[in-house]
A and B are shown apart, each in its own frame.
Chain A
Amino acid sequence: MELIVLLIIFFIVAIFVVSIYNSLVRLRNQVKNAWSQIDVQLKRRHDLIPNLMETVKGYMKHERETLENITSARSRAMGAETVGDKAKAEGELNGAMSKFFLVVENYPDLKANQNFLSLQEELTSTENKISYSRQAYNDQVLFFNNKIEVFPSNIIAGMFNFKQSEFFEISDPGERDVPKVDFS
């Protein structure tokens, strides 16, 4: 009799542990997936930048420094490995891009260029996609980290060595904003 009761209790506990473990794994995968979404968009921006440089270089001969800043920030961002490094490098790229878009204001010819206008829509959209995927990623991370911290899932998380994920925050407050692309 006692054996049966013990078995039942053991069984219930086992189901409980398994379900929490599974939900933790699912959440961790969602975090990974959200991260890969950001990656896709960041890559897209990296791909767009050479196009942009090609389009504007004829117009902006006197802005070598601004353009070089973007190119070097881009190559640094492409080389970054960890979440923290990446956030920092992308922050720098953001800063360089917003400076560039400020400078563009002085070039009415460029602003009238059809090619530039469609690139501008693509860049705006990519910037938005980056910030929205970051938003989605951070939401997932918050949810996952909460789950790891609260009882009873913290016990299972500790047992199976689930680690908290890093938020993707742009470190420098001045560079937090996505460059404002406004040519009106």
Chain B
Amino acid sequence: MWELIRQNRRKSFILFIMMGICLLLLGYLLGMAFWGEGGGPAGLALAFIIWAVLSLVSYFSGDSIMLRMAGAKLVTPDVHPQLFNVVEEMKIAASLPVMPKVYIIDTPAPNAFATGRNPEKSAIAVTAGLLTRLNRDELQGVVAHEMSHILNRDILFMTFAGIMLGSILLLSRMFLYSGGGRGSRRIESKKSSGGGGVPIVAIIAIIFAILAPILAHFLYMAISRQREYLADASAVRLTRYPEGLASALEKISRSDKEIPNVNKVTAPMYIANPLRAKGKKAANLGSTHPPIKERIRILRTMSHGADFAQYQEAYQSVTGKDENLIPSSGLKDAAAIPIRGRETAGVEPPDPNSKTGTRQLNDLMRAVNEYLFVACVCGLRFKLPPDFKKKEFSCPRCQRNIVVPTAELAAAAVVLDQLEAKDKITADAKQTSIDKTYHRTGTGWETLSCPSCGHKLQLSPDFEGDSIKCGKCGTEIKIEK
């Protein structure tokens, strides 16, 4: 496994260097075309500075930019206990030092991505659409795929490669749209003074400015596609169950919903190409992801074992290529690993287009957005947005008066603050003085506030434990029916 990661890094590093050379050469040529023969180093420096600034920004805040762009929200385990369990299982299987943060994106399109510059700072984001569509085994496959990206250190690398692509695009556009004209004027003036070298340089620069982005693009896509295959292989090795990922991919490919705010640079981070719905053929060379049908076929061809050698064999027989996807040193690491049996607990999720499926999806999306779930005695359920200001309202069906729990809790918090200010009770004393029990009002989604810190917690309909831990201050809150 470790051998493989090292090999993988070395291979990517070569491609990475090639793109770097591409960038610097472009800078050098553009510099020469812009400022004459002495301008080469200046252009080189400019290209390097652009690249360095973008890289620094993406290194330190790339993950938060990515998460914000996708609209991902950090959630507590009570919103979706199964997702947290599955992430923890895969964390254990991959022996990562820390648990990645878990985000949910409130979009009906099924997809997922991982981000974070190193395993300690990693995060996994899945869409609400994915969660309501997949069963446990499938979800495990998807999470394992994302965990493999973290484990194989793909994310930082893809971010840097993406930045490189971005800088090349930026430089060549700058040149072709604005600089190109000025450059040609300079060529004319040089021509009149008898200089013959510069026009040739300018022509080469223009050609290169057109070619470099295309070249870099192909390199980027090649790296990205290889990473996807590798993450699939590692996911199977972690879960020992290729069918889980295969049927998850199948379900994802069946959806035609699109994720908002995705561009060419962030697309490779997702498990399945999020741009594919735009009427483009996914199988072409410029795609960031291998054709999904091919990935499924490879996974389904693996019937003898879950190790890398098996994946490679399946890959070769499905694509007909002789290419070694996985370096030989990664193949010798262990004897054949058997595939485990299906062990899904619970039931197949409802059809996403059915009434229950849609309701589940919407409830999950509201839970992510901190909606309040209030049930009336007559059975009607209300979903109150977080900015709902009224303290009480009447039920439209039975006219009963319903008190919004947050208003109560906010009032309690005020009283608590006053108490605290009055005699400065210690945190311990405070904890014992508050009633840390919550009485459930129904069986649907419910929201409660932590009695010690006021942090909002969601109770899912599936939650049936007898206590819940506050995600912020760690207080145990008893749940009673």
Chain A residues near B (Cβ < 8 Å): 34, 37, 41, 114-115, 117-122, 124-125, 128-129, 132-133, 135-136, 139-140, 142-143, 177-178, 180-184
Contact = CB atoms under 8 A, between A and B. Distances in A.
Of the listed residues B341, B346, B461, B465, the one surrounded by the most CB atoms of chain A closer than 10 A to its CB is: B346
B386 interface: no
B464 A183 contact: no
Tell me the dominant secondary structure on chain B's binding face: loop
A121 B343 contact: no
A1 B227 CA distance: 54
A181 B334 contact: no
B372 to A, nearest CB: 21
Contacts of B344: 182, 184
B341 A177 contact: yes
14 contacts: A117-B346, A117-B464, A118-B462, A120-B345, A125-B82, A128-B343, A129-B88, A129-B89, A133-B92, A136-B92, A136-B93, A136-B94, A142-B334, A183-B346
Given A129-B89, A132-B89, A132-B93, A118 B81 contact: yes
Contacts of B90: 132
Interface of B: 1-2, 81-82, 85-86, 88-90, 92-95, 136, 140, 238, 240, 334, 340-348, 443, 461-465
Contacts, number: 80
Contacts of B346: 117, 120-121, 183-184
Contacts of A121: 81-82, 85, 345-346, 462
Closest CB pairs A-B (n = 9): A125-B85, A132-B93, A118-B464, A124-B345, A115-B464, A181-B345, A136-B95, A132-B92, A128-B89
A93 to B, nearest CB: 17
Contacts of B464: 114-115, 117-119
Nearest to B347: A184
A171 B324 CA distance: 37
Nearest to A177: B341
A142 B86 CA distance: 26
A124 B95 contact: no
Interface centre among B85, B140, B348, B443 (most CB of A within 10 A): B85
A114 B461 CA distance: 9
B81 A34 contact: no
Contacts of B240: 135
Contact of A125 (B88, B94, B340, B461): B88
Nearest to B239: A132
